[in-house]
Chains A and B, each alone.
Chain A
Amino acid sequence: MEQHYSKKKNIVNGPRPIVIRRIMAFSKYYERNKKLVEDSVRNN
């Protein structure tokens, strides 16, 4: 007899790796970018 099993659902276990790489890049350059912004504000 033919069986009708439900389709396996695609369980997502987190965001795509690119999202985590973007977060890590933001973290890595945060201090440097903050300093650049502060310097430009001071100079203006």
Chain B
Amino acid sequence: MQTTQLSQHTDAHLVSEYISGDEKSLEILIYKHKSRIYNFIFSKVLNRDIAEDIFQETFIKVIKTLKNGVYNEEGKFLSWVMRISHNLIIDYFRKSNRMPKFEASDDYDVFQFITDNSPNAENNLIKDQVVNDLQNLITELPDDQKEVLNMRLYRDMSFKEIAEITGVSINTALGRMRYAIINLRKMIEENQILLTH
């Protein structure tokens, strides 16, 4: 795919051409954004085959929405596609019932960083209790705050990425994070929970 062809048209124009029946416009859109979307998915699932499946599933949803005439032209095309892939990543982790993990490769072996500090059983129990308490508190937060907090703490996403995926401004995402922390502190005080070990 030629770069001139990629930069010639805006996303909105390409979407409109595709809806009118020009299949090539979809191909241009995919080539234009494939790296960003794929790398985002891969950074979360850390597996090439799964990342490709989610990438494919994302565009199948895009095609169905566009061809059925239910696409809402309010936001940016890329943000919309990123939101779809984000939801599919969440679905994937829900289905497989596990969180992202590191896998050893020739370049990187996670076990070289693990040291055996031999924590005793008591410390492990306290640590598990702290993690459980914190997770229970997070579930009590309003959905928009919970979403930002999970993306930031557990998925290590930047506020720019969070803003793009949730379709709000960076300031709103920051505000939601701030209120999430304030509310968590309030709940910790109210319930007299001890979060140290």
Contacts and interface: CB of A to CB of B under 8 A. Distances in A.
The answer to whether A and B belong to the same complex is yes
Interface of A: 6-7, 9, 12-16, 19-20, 22-24, 26-28, 30-31, 34
B67 A24 contact: no
A6 to B, nearest CB: 8
Given A19-B56, A20-B34, A23-B59, 18 more contacts: A12-B42, A13-B35, A14-B34, A15-B51, A15-B52, A19-B55, A20-B30, A20-B31, A22-B56, A23-B56, A23-B60, A23-B63, A24-B23, A24-B27, A24-B30, A26-B63, A27-B26, A27-B67
B107 interface: yes
Interface string B36-77: 001100100000100110011001100110010000000000
B51 A30 contact: no
A15 B60 contact: no
Contacts, number: 54
Nearest to B60: A26
B interface, how many residues as a size bin? 20 to 34
Contacts of A13: 34-35, 38-39
Nearest to A24: B27
Given A22-B56, A24-B23, A24-B27, A7 B107 contact: yes
A15 B34 contact: yes
A16 B56 contact: no
